Structure 1
Amino acid sequence: MDIYQPLPVDFYQQDTLELAKSLIGCMLVHETTAGISAGAIVETEGYLGAADKAAHGFKYRHTKRTEVMFGAPGHAYTHTMHTHCLINVVSGAIGEPESVLIRALEPLTGIDLMLQRRPVNKLPLLTNGPGKLTKAMGISMAAYGHSFLQPPIWIAVPRVKPKITTGKRIGIDGSGEAKDYPYRFWAANHPFVSK
């Protein structure tokens, strides 16, 4: 879709935490045979690989599961957690297993399609969590290793850049001091941010 222009490769070549902030407001777009769904990213978390006990690059090191994170930035790292597929943006230099988790988004295009995939009675519940948004957008483990520079899944320029709030990441209590790192970023006072 012309209104959703993919971001250039150099966008992904910034520091991981800066990328996590820069992604707020950008559009995550997924094109399928059923149609296009898209939403504005409103929440992210940065993971700093070998220096971060909460990161998969630290815990699992270089395995088949994490291989894509050791490659070029701007690719999708998908993994499952509690049966849910989560999608991350690979970041950092080649050989440095860093990534940014997309935690929540505001649906803007293809909302009816998203509701077919994930029926809810209140729209903010549709995509206000990392597993919720992938189900609503039809994103599966098949996206592993895909470049965000092109369809069927890509990240597009933001419509609006909201004010960003920073805090602790969610659901990583067993990661020592890393549980307190302020590597979570979200659009301030946004109703689609995860709880």
Structure 2
Amino acid sequence: MQLIAGQGAVDLAQALIGARLSLRGCGGIIIETEAYTAEDPASHSHRGPTPRNASMFGPAGHAYVYRSYGIHLCLNVVARPAEAVLIRALTPDHGLDAMQDRRGDRSLCDGPGRLTQALDVRITDDGAPFDGGDLAIALPPQPQPLLQGPRIGISRAQDLPWRFGLAGASGLSRRFPS
């Protein structure tokens, strides 16, 4: 993940499409992301560092994990201080039995909460590096064909076109506008 040092969240969100994500023996291909920057009123970093968002101000290539609406965990990749990319969906391709055990007979990774449940993301993963240990990301060898549209599930700055998806992929959390 050294390639992302200093890269902004919008650029990283695009670069992560098609990347391979692995977490403790489970994972797949990232097919949907969203970018959040320091100036963005929808970003957790917008008002500065807190104990909850401290990892977002940490080193690039580390995880920022938080609980959304008190229910689901969300997994982000820190781009540069105060910027991160939410991993919204992936196409699972390894550790499928374990993911099925966690999710049952439901969709595995087509949304940030489902993805973290299937992959067994833990709050203790917050701040961990994507260095090939428990967490790893391998960027694709070349840029992938992208879909782009507004972010979803937020109440501020909804119009920013900082949601990216892999063109032609099934399993996105929501369809992109035409």
Q: TM-score, normalised by structure 2?
A: 0.91
Q: 2:64 — aligned with what? A: 77
Note the 1:95-174 alignment, pairs <5 A. 96-121=81-106, 125-158=107-140, 161-173=143-155
* Cα distance in structure 1, aligned partners of 2:49 and 2:112: 24
Q: Structure 2, unaligned stretches of length 5 or more?
A: none
Higher helix fraction: Structure 1 or Structure 2? 1
Note the 1:1-195 alignment, pairs <5 A. 8-31=1-24, 36-49=25-38, 51-59=39-47, 61-82=48-69, 83-92=71-80, 96-121=81-106, 125-158=107-140, 161-173=143-155, 175=156, 178-195=157-174
8 A Cα contact 2:58 2:127, kept in partner: no
**CA-atom RMSD in angstroms:** 1.5
State the percentage of identical aligned residues.
38
SS at 2:35's partner residue? strand
Q: Structure 1, unaligned stretches of length 5 or more?
A: 1-7
Q: TM-score, normalised by structure 1?
A: 0.84
Greater radius of gyration (CA)? 1
Number of residue equivalences: 173
Change (3 A) 1:90 1:72: same
How far off its partner does 1:67 sit? 1.1
